[in-house]
Amino acid sequence: MAGRNPENVEGARQRELLDALEEIFQKEGFRKVTVGELAARLRCSRRSFYELAGSKEDLFLRVLERLLARIRRLGDEAAGELQDPAVRLEAFLRPGFVETVQASTTFFGDIDSFPSARRMMEEHQETRAAGIRRIIEDGIRRGQLRRVNPYLVSEAARVVARRLKEPAFLREASLSVGEAFREWTELLLHGLLHPAAEAKQPPARRRRG
């Protein structure tokens, strides 16, 4: 899945519909809305959707695959242009919450309750975890990150990411999904920085007391 880019085979009208569907699904999930309602809201025919996918479930999977592929692409592109491993890691992680800033707990709940979507998300997280490991390994070699176990950190990031999307956690923490990911990213970055490297960071990038 990681090698596919669904946007490569989209026409302009398909991109427009998929963009609109992504916004709806992120805010409302897919289970409660019907194809007829989607067609009315987007002012198109049902056939337009069935040209994209054979069912509402498959349509959701296509939208989700497209979203996750975009997150991976943006993260890889942003990190690939940087040298400082802490800055690289921040840039690599940022699309994960920027592209899902509108995502609701309903959206993530629908993913968790839909086996095909859940597997897609797990594969995505495995790919992202491998990217985190590579950046951490490079940072350790450069002496800019602490000598931690990269696999441990990447797996911890996967577990935390899963927890941050749970409705009960978000209610108890009084955070949105985007806020939770930003807090976690800051905690992760400053926990990884080597003390000598952190002392060289500009004040705005140092740990906030």
Distance between first and last Cα of the chain: 41
* Residue spans per domain, the chain: 67-205
Task: Please say whether the structural domain 67-205 has been given the CATH code 1.10.357.10.
Answer: yes
The answer to whether 75 touches 128, Cβ cutoff 8 Å, is yes
The answer to whether 1 touches 65, Cβ cutoff 8 Å, is yes
The answer to whether 73 touches 47, Cβ cutoff 8 Å, is no
The answer to whether 121 touches 68, Cβ cutoff 8 Å, is yes
Amino acid at 168: A
pLDDT in tens, the chain (209 residues): 455 555 555 688 899 999 999 999 999 999 999 999 999 999 999 999 999 999 999 999 999 999 999 999 999 999 998 988 888 998 999 898 889 888 888 998 899 999 999 999 999 999 999 999 999 999 999 888 889 899 999 998 888 888 887 878 888 989 887 788 888 888 887 788 776 655 555 544 444 43
Q: Which phi-psi region, left, alpha or beta, contains residue 157 (left: φ > 0; alpha: ψ -120 to 50)? A: alpha
What pLDDT is recorded for position 195? Answer: 67
What pLDDT is recorded for position 30? Answer: 96
- If you compute the radius of gyration of the chain from its CA atoms, what whole number of angstroms results? 19
**Hey, CA dihedral for 35, 36, 42, 47, is it positive or negative?**
positive
